[in-house]
């Protein structure tokens, strides 16, 4: 089943078929030695379609941890924060940006998370929090 899903992923088969194949594999074989790999492929597919929420949910299921995985999680949280910011959902944005900044204090997207969380706080009229984030950003 894993090989079938991998073949779908690597061939010109439609995107949806690959996702279904990996989902089916993960449903039928949740304890396989290829489980983390399957979630990694799913995450990669979701990233290419900019489905950040689905990618984040997929990546949370990966049992192993690595600096690359942490960076991807931070990136996804940052992207979900920007999406909710554009929808003017400041509370969700603050949460996503906060998680992104905390997941890796020295991470690649930490400064962006802090900056945009400060902007969210400012728009929510939470000036003290905004100032604190801007100071940390600088």
Residue 57 tokens read as 């949910």
pLDDT at 49: 80
CA distance 86 to 79: 11
Query: What is the per-residue pLDDT for 13?
Result: 58
Are the C-beta atoms of residues 118 and 138 closer than 8 Å to each other? no
**Rounded to 5°, angle at Cα 80 from 78 and 82:** 70
Q: Say how many CA atoms lie within 13 Å of 125 toward its Cβ.
A: 0
Full DSSP string of 39-69 = HHHHHHHHHHTT-HHHHHHHHHT--S--HHH
Taking only the tens of pLDDT, the chain with its 138 residues reads 888 888 888 885 566 788 888 888 988 998 899 988 888 888 888 888 888 998 888 888 887 778 888 898 999 999 999 999 999 999 999 999 999 999 988 889 999 999 999 999 999 999 999 999 999 999
What is the structure's pLDDT at 85? 98
CA distance 95 to 92: 5
Measured between its terminal Cα atoms, the distance across the chain in Å is 50
Domain-by-domain residue ranges, the chain?
Answer: 2-60, 67-137
CATH of 67-137, one of 3.40.50.2000, 1.25.40.10, 3.30.1600.10, 1.10.10.60: 1.25.40.10
């Amino acid at each position: 089943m894993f090989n079938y899903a991998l073949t779908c992923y690597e061939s010109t088969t439609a995107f949806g078929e690959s996702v279904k194949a990996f989902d089916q594999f993960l449903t039928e074989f949740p304890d396989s030695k290829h489980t983390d790999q399957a979630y990694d492929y799913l995450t990669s597919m979701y990233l290419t379609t900019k489905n950040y929420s689905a990618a984040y949910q997929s990546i949370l299921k990966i049992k192993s941890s690595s600096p690359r995985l942490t960076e991807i999680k931070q990136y996804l949280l940052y992207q979900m924060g920007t999406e909710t910011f554009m929808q003017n959902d400041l509370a969700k944005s603050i949460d996503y940006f906060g998680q992104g900044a905390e997941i890796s204090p020295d991470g690649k997207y930490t400064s962006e998370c802090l900056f945009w969380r400060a902007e969210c706080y400012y728009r929510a009229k939470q000036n003290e929090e905004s100032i604190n984030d801007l100071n940390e950003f600088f």
